[in-house]
Structure 1
Amino acid sequence: MEVRVMSRSAIRITAILAAALITLTACASNTGTAPTPSGSAASVATIVQPTRPVEFVISTAVGGGSDLYARKWAAIIDQLKLSPQSVNPLNKEGASGAVAFTYVYDHKGDMHYIMVTLNSFFTTIITSKPPLPYKATDFTPIANLALDPFFLWVNEDSKWQNAQDFIKAAQEKSIVVTGTGVHQEDEVLFKRIEALAKTKPFTYVMSASGATVASALAGHAGAGAASAGVEATVNNPSEGSPFLRIGTGTRKCPPECLRPLCAFTPESPKSGTFAGLATCKSQGLAIDDYYIMRAVMGPPGLTQGQQAFWIDVFKQVFDSKDWKDYMDQFALEPSFKSGLEFRQFILQYQQLHQDIAAKNGWV
């Protein structure tokens, strides 16, 4: 059975809730710290600033999407001097993200620990055995900065030229694919392809990060055992981009290059590195509504003033030309959410992935 994924329009809340957010933040406690910059998202609240260097925790290995975005955001924060203290990316990969989640969770009430999150923030917590001692909603929501699409990728030397070629082959044999972690967003999407296109079950191989996934498909020696026989991935654009022959590609081709067959998006990218890439839907694989959230969470128990500081910082990151250019280059959908709107988004994404896990027998 096909897994139905909630459309993005269903997770938008009304202007009434946004107005309620302003009312709530205006009532934040007075902590005696400086106000936020005029016109910013949190300008109605009194903020609390960090007093020592901040750890920006990343749940995947170096080179994956979460790692790329956390380092990009940290660089913008430093360049624009948005924080009085340094914001330092820190990779804590392991257990499909649980190592990082637990590390941040254990620093309750401390604004000096924040975390970049993606859909595995839900899937790992939902499917972990034994269960983890927390839920996604226990953490302090800060902001979502983008929705990251998936592309269907093959090695440049693959005989498959479009999604139809891939589907036909997958209906005849079990294709070896790889993705980040177990029961995470890559495996979710491959399960959905199986159900929709009635393919043979994919042989799914776990990798440590999006970079390792792309390396495995390229046949790069650094990918280790995961590279053996891998024929396709669903990397995000930024993860596959270093393996392109053109554009941002830095690899020698062949054999270490990739080629995107199509984008799991409603429309083809209109600009940037992937402008004009066909949609998978146009090639007979009608999936265009599942994205990775690229968001920031804090540990449980942050005060309104601490939360307001980080909301303001990441709203300014989102508004920066540097980030807007980056989103355009790598086909990300701009999507800033904070406050009540982001809480609503988290609740709906949590339920979405609870349903996905149940349908796939992961819980």
Structure 2
Amino acid sequence: MFKKLALAALAIGLISAPAAAQDYPTRPISYILHVSPGGATDIMARKIALGLEKSLGTPVPVENKAGGRGAAQLADINKSAPDGYTIGSVTSTHIGAFNQTLKQYNVDSFDWIARLVNEPYLLVVNKDSKLNSMKDLVEVANDKPGSVVMAGFVRGSGGHFAWEIMAQSANLESSKVRWIPYDSVGDAVTATVGGHAEVAIAYVDLVKNQVEAGNLRVIAVMADERVPQFPDAQTFKEQGYDADTSWQQMRGIIGPKGMPKDVKNKLAEAVKAVLETPELQTYMKESSLTPAFQGPAEFTEFAHQQDTITKEWMTRLSMH
């Protein structure tokens, strides 16, 4: 009798488990960001959240937990149940932080759900700046070290490594430019518009409005070709610098470690569907974002590759 009851219970469990996965989600999914409101990552995340609400049929509230290079955000994600009801933004900057200020985490501390896009880095200057090209920046930095102030995300971020790559391509000692770190790229751009910095390293969608308004000018783009939004802005290659254009900012979604595989796959498929909607396709095109969707397995492998490259740069810059 006991054996029959046990078998019956097992059978019920086997039947109900897939059903529970199929029912996901049954309540709101919290989407936690590591940046301040208004930045490039924030803007896209909110568009993704709206799309997920429609496709999954549940609210996806976005929470901004900026500061500490993702410390508060990652702590929240890390302590959350790995049930698919907490997800978070992730960029190349996180991987830098794992190797520097947030060594309590590593790539394997989280589940990598979906990569969204890649985007090229560019340099913009305040409207009153006399810098019109990377060549001008290099000349002034060499002539008067420290006189050029550059705003960006924190040291060890994807943008910081991009600047190091740019400087290396120009045979410029990067320390000759004074790097000022901000809590987000959006804050760095705002500081540059306000004249607190002369140069900022950012992305197309974050500077487009300010460039069109005449508050900023693009002086160099780290891409193989000019971006359509700024047809007059030359690439580094056009200016004679062989900067590695494969290093671009990545945006993706992570979750707590140990999420059920079927839940991760359902989330990833929903994200993929949102990225394929006309609204997101138009947004990505206007922002010069490169569609780069990857599901959990591919994204996890990519994260490990990025981690290897990051470690190499941090060793080169003595940042460990």
Normalised TM-score (structure 2): 0.88
**1:1-363 equivalent positions in 2, closer than 5 A:** 31-33=17-19, 47=22, 49-78=24-53, 81-128=54-101, 131-132=103-104, 134-173=105-144, 174=146, 175-200=148-173, 201=175, 202-219=177-194, 228=196, 230-244=197-211, 246=212, 249=213, 253=214, 257-269=215-227, 271=228, 273-275=229-231, 277-287=233-243, 288-363=245-320
Instruction: Please tell me the root mean square deviation across aligned C-alpha atoms, in Å.
Output: 2.0
Letter in 2 for 1:265: A
Measure how far apart 1:203 and its partner are.
1.1
Give 3-state SS (helix, strand or coil) of 1:87's partner: coil
Quote the offset at 1:276 in angstroms: 5.3
Task: Report sequence identity in percent.
Answer: 22
Q: Is the 8 A contact 1:156 1:258 kept in 2?
A: yes
- What SS does the aligned partner of 1:283 have? coil
Contact 1:31-1:48 within 8 A present in 2 as well? no
How many aligned residue pairs are there?
302
Q: Which amino acid aligns with 2:140?
A: A
Distance 1:48 1:204 in 2: 49
Question: Contact conserved, 1:96 with 1:124, CA < 8 A, in 2?
Answer: yes
Unaligned runs of 5+ in 2: 1-14
For 2:294 and 2:32, how far apart are their aligned partners in 1?
A: 20
Q: Cα distance, 1:156 vs. partner?
A: 1.9
* Greater displacement, 118-127 / 195-204: 195-204
Gaps of 5+ in 1: 1-28, 35-45, 220-226
Q: Highest Rg: 1 or 2?
A: 2
C-alpha contact 2:265 2:296 (8 A) present in aligned 1: no
Task: Write out per-residue CA displacement over residues 232-262 of structure 1, whole angstroms, 9 at most, x where no aligned residue.
Answer: 1111111112312x2xx4xxx5xxx111112
Q: Deviations over 1:211-252 (max 9, x none)?
A: 111111111xxxxxxx53x111111111112312x2xx4xxx
